[in-house]
Structure 1
């Protein structure tokens, strides 16, 4: 099968096209403003009030990262078609992690939008997440897409459910890669990404991720012959205090 025929890639392409159709012609609020010194010029601001004009990459980055728009939802709708394609291409360039992009989605409260606006966003996120798990040419590592989707939605459940449905070799490899990225922070009882939005419960997310790794993921890691030391580090998440630190397979992490 040619990569162009990859089903997840076709689904993602359709979701991106749907965003472009859905948010075509939308702009920031006419009275929207921002600081000339810290965000950008009045000429740049006027572009956000002009529909369908492609933004220069640095302007797009400053726009989605800004936290002080008076109507962030309108700004997000204005930039979403371009923003989504930049995300998928791995060109968003967040300062810390891709969860920052999820924070921008959360600030826009997209899940409260009318269905004809919220559904295309939801379909895009799920399509991108599936593509990151199943497309060998995905531009963004799956664990980063996962963190972004978690921060965008404030929940892990839908994304973990999608992962459980993807049981192929590549998805299993993505699981091992994610577990390897996450184990250090999780063994220190921290979530492996920054929770930026105040409405999201970091401890609840951490507990849900640990429970999933100890249950569903541990079985998959074992059945897919993931490295033994990685399997032990995930097993250690089920231990606490001295039982964890004195286990013969404790990796010697210092916090």
Structure 2
């Protein structure tokens, strides 16, 4: 990612923003090389609503590599960052930048599926990837094909959350609830091989499916 975004990261740009929330020193720092920006300022901007900036897409694009590092380290609000990447129009960035981000998304998901416990809640990671990319298919396919104990434990953990909190019947994610997951998730859960889902969980999945 550093290589893909190198020219953008080092290029000084004019950063205009809400001067009530950000002082001149903050705006000057954001205008300079990314590696010199303090961690806490990067994290704050990663959560800031787009309307605070004169050029939100440009600023978020510039900070993308460091923002993603904090995201993968579970130091940011997943829903907000997913929606802010969408708002920044990351799918319209250069092919090199998009490829770098997509490589991170896939590597992040593989890492989670092969480790339990993992850094960050599996549902947060999966929901983030679905919202950011606008598709559930690659992440569900990888989950189905990854026959590790970690992947199965993550699946049971996710179902515990979705079923206990009643989310599975109408599951949305992204800060603005951009992605409606239930229509695709329910058939996928029912298609899994026997034994991947606990019997009690499967009964609930079937019950919810029958009502849709």
Tell me the TM-score normalised to structure 1 length: 0.73
Report the equivalent of 1:251.
Answer: none
Contact 1:24 1:51 in 2 (8 A): no
Counterpart residue number, 1:7:
none
Distance 2:37 2:15 in 1: 17
Residue 100 in structure 1 maps to residue 72 in structure 2: no
Q: 2:138 aligns with which of 158, 177, 180?
A: 158
Please provide the CA RMSD for this pair.
2.3
Note if 1:55 corresponds to 2:37: yes
Match of 1:223 in 2: 195
Task: Give the structure 2 partner of residue 185 of structure 1.
Answer: 166
Distance apart, 1:72 and its partner CA: 2.8
Unpaired stretches in structure 1, ≥5 consecutive residues: 1-18, 242-255
1:209 to 163, 185, 202: 185
> Does the CA-based 8 Å contact 2:105-2:129 persist in structure 1?
yes
The reply to whether residue 43 of structure 1 matches residue 25 of structure 2 is: yes
User: How far has the Cα of 1:123 moved from its partner?
Assistant: 0.7
State the TM-score, normalizing by the size of structure 2: 0.86
Give the alignment of 1:1-255 within 5 angstroms: 19-27=1-9, 30-38=13-21, 40-66=22-48, 67-68=50-51, 69-92=53-76, 94=77, 98-136=78-116, 138-183=118-163, 184-187=165-168, 189-191=169-171, 193-196=173-176, 200-202=178-180, 205-216=181-192, 219=193, 222-224=194-196, 226-240=197-211
CA contact (8 A) 2:116 2:154 kept: no
Distance 2:36 2:166 in 1: 38
Corresponding pairs, count: 208
The answer to whether the 8 A contact 2:126-2:139 is kept is yes
Give the Cα separation in 1 of the matches to 2:15 and 2:99. 26
- Alpha carbons of structure 1 residues 239 and 195: separation in structure 2 relative to 1, 3 Å: farther
Contact preservation (8 Å) 2:172, 2:179: no
Structure 2 Cα separation of the partners of residues 89 and 192 of structure 1: 23
Which one is further off, 113-122 or 72-81?
72-81
